[in-house]
């Protein structure tokens, strides 16, 4: 049966979330409302997006007109509808204008609609992949610009607030970045070191491209949405806090397969563990789908001060992440566990029980060995600081 396929995606999600956290003036980072703004900004490209489109609830633009949801993941969706093309484009135009106006031009929505004969699961998979392909093409954005040129080329007053407050309570997260200050350590509460961690699953674009089964494609998308979000982050953070009550975490954003948060520098390892736990949760769920390959994760780590402007450590941690993602590891035996690649201060590490093969990979450092060495050195400094300092000076 021939149906109209509609594809919608929020464009430049990371740019928007960066703007949302950067829009907070530096002196307001200590304000308890900053966590609410970050939470609500993340929700705008997930739950609220689904409601606004009409995938959830009864007040969305397409509510009552969606025949089948083919894909629903953070910041994007694909569905079929019996509406005529002119009706579809009218509703899509309404959605585009709402996002553009309410977010002062900082949030763009890309969309496409086309006809396709869908009678099997293979047809559904082809529809999803074609939707993603169409939205990435320049012709898609050119058409949107043509349809909304009067709106796009007007000078607009930037709204002071680009988010809507979310009333959700997350007890595992500190209210603002200054509250990351450790309670049990002798540090200056107004000026202390934090570790900013930015994580990203490796190769997800190619993975989705190579999936040939619609049910697997849909299941993987749902697994990612269920595992990488604020609720899942809080759940795992609470488990770590039960073992280590001093562990604190301040989320910056979660979107798609991207994670970014800050922890006290003394709890850097807990932050790395948190990312690995999320990765293990994803791999455990994928294993039930008879997924053969383990996903890996890349982490960028930046050591900063709590008073430093967000834009500084945002750019630095992204550079560290980009370096980590370039790592290509070859292991001596088959990888049967999750692998994390890390970059800190320009140095690359790998975190896996599997031993890497000799050759080009041999220069990479083992993260567990590095942490063990640092821990040992710290113990020596505490026990006999004079001798260690003298030794280091000599």
User: Each residue's pLDDT tens digit in the chain (394 positions)?
Assistant: 789 999 998 876 555 555 555 555 444 454 445 566 666 666 666 677 888 899 988 889 999 999 999 998 877 899 999 899 999 999 999 999 888 887 776 677 899 999 999 999 999 999 999 999 999 898 998 898 888 888 877 665 555 444 444 555 788 998 888 889 888 777 777 788 999 999 999 988 888 888 899 999 999 998 988 898 888 999 999 999 999 999 999 988 776 678 889 999 999 999 999 999 999 999 999 888 877 778 899 999 999 888 887 777 888 999 999 999 998 877 766 666 788 999 999 999 989 877 777 666 666 788 888 888 887 777 776 666 544 443 333 3
pTM, entire model? 0.82
Round to whole Å and give the CA distance between 56 and 45: 13
Contact assessment for residue 201 and residue 279, using Cβ atoms and an 8 Å cutoff: yes
Distances (CA, A) of 218 to 63, 204, 294: 21, 14, 18
Give me the pLDDT at residue 127, please: 95
Round to whole Å and give the CA distance between 41 and 23: 12
Cα–Cα nearest to 229, from 48, 31, 381: 48
Distances (CA, A) of 268 to 79, 123, 191, 192, 250: 41, 46, 17, 14, 13
Give me the pLDDT at residue 61, please: 93
Give me the pLDDT at residue 365, please: 85
User: Which CB contacts under 8 angstroms, 24+ apart, belong to 238-243?
Assistant: 238/171, 238/172, 239/277, 240/270, 240/273, 240/274, 240/277, 241/172
Cβ neighbours for 347, distance < 8 A, ≥ 6 positions apart: 365
Give me the pLDDT at residue 301, please: 95
Q: Between β-strands 2-11 and 76-81, what pairing exists: parallel, antiparallel or unpaired?
A: antiparallel
C-alpha 220: how far from its chain's center? 16
């Amino acid at each position: 049966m021939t149906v109209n396929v509609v594809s919608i995606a929020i464009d430049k999600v990371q740019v928007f979330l960066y703007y949302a956290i950067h829009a907070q003036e530096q002196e307001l980072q200590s304000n308890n409302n900053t966590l609410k703004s970050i939470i609500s900004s993340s929700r705008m490209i997930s739950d609220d997006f689904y409601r606004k489109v009409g995938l959830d609830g009864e007040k969305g633009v397409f509510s009552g007109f969606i025949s089948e949801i083919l894909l629903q993941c953070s910041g994007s969706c694909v569905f079929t509808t019996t509406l005529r093309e002119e009706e579809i484009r009218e509703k899509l135009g309404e959605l585009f204008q709402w996002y553009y106006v309410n977010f002062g031009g900082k949030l763009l929505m890309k969309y496409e609609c086309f006809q396709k004969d869908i009678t099997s699961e293979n047809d559904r998979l082809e529809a999803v992949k074609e939707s993603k392909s169409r939205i990435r093409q320049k012709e898609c954005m050119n058409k949107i610009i043509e349809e909304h040129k009067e709106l796009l080329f007007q000078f607009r007053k930037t709204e002071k607030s680009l988010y809507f407050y979310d009333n959700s309570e997350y007890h595992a997260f500190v209210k603002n970045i200054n509250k990351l200050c450790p309670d049990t350590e002798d540090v200056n509460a107004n000026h202390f070191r934090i570790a900013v961690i930015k994580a990203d699953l490796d190769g997800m674009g190619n993975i989705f491209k190579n999936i040939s089964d619609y049910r697997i494609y849909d299941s993987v998308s749902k697994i990612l949405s269920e595992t990488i979000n604020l609720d899942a982050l809080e759940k795992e953070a609470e488990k770590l806090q039960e073992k280590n009550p001093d562990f604190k975490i301040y989320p910056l954003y979660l979107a798609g397969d991207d994670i970014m948060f800050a922890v006290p520098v003394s709890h850097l390892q807990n932050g790395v563990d948190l990312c690995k736990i999320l990765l293990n949760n994803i791999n455990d769920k994928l294993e039930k789908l008879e997924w053969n390959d383990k996903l890996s994760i890349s982490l960028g780590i930046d050591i900063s001060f709590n008073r430093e402007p967000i834009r500084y450590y945002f750019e630095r941690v992204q550079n560290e992440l980009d370096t980590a993602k370039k790592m290509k590891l070859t292991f001596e035996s088959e990888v049967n566990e999750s692998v994390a690649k890390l970059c800190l201060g320009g140095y690359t590490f790998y975190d896996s029980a599997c031993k890497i093969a000799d050759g080009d990979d041999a220069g990479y450092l083992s993260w567990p060995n590095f942490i063990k060495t640092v821990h040992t050195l710290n113990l020596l400094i505490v026990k006999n600081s004079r001798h260690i300092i003298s030794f280091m000076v000599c």
